[in-house]
Amino acid sequence: MKHIKSLFAPSRFAAIALAALIIAPATLATAVAQDFWQQAAQNYTIWENYMKRGVAYFNQGDTDAAIAEFTKAISVLPRHPDSYAARGHAYRKKGDLKKALADFDKALEINPQHAEANAGRKLAMDSKR
């Protein structure tokens, strides 16, 4: 009985409660961070698969299927400029210069130094003339 009383002594209980308050948020934060990075890795893999299929369709001349795959890639990682640049090239190849320029501009908004988007925009502008 003596051991039980000392276990629940106010100072010991306060120390345990304080430790729980300090450790629990750190543990929770670690778990949240792990979940975040795991989800990010999964999203990148999904995005990469859409991009690979889009490029394959583009190379086969099926611009509509390529555009559909690049659009799916954009829905997974909307801040990745490669998706917009790739879809811009597909729109340009299809002859839809207005949509091509919009996609190249979006890629350049995300990354002003994006080489493919700059090159694609120049090709689209040259095609308009």
Provide the pLDDT for residue 86: 98
Show the domain range for 57. Answer: 37-128
Residue among 110, 46, 51 at smallest CA distance from 80? 110
In a domain, 7, yes or no: no
Tokens of 25: 């948020």
Q: Give 63-105 pLDDT, tens digit per residue.
A: 999 999 999 999 999 999 999 999 999 999 999 999 999 999 9
Counting the structural domains of the chain, the total is: 1
- Cα torsion at 60, 95, 80, 113 (round to 10°)? 110
CATH number at 119 reads 1.25.40.10
For 87-98, how does the pLDDT look when each residue is reduced to its tens digit (9 = 90+)?
Answer: 999 999 999 999
Q: Is the pLDDT at 9 greater than 60, yes or no?
A: no
Task: Identify whether 26 is part of a domain.
Answer: no
Would residue 87 count as lying in a domain?
Answer: yes
**Joined tokens for residue 45:** 């893999």
Q: Is residue 31 part of a domain?
A: no
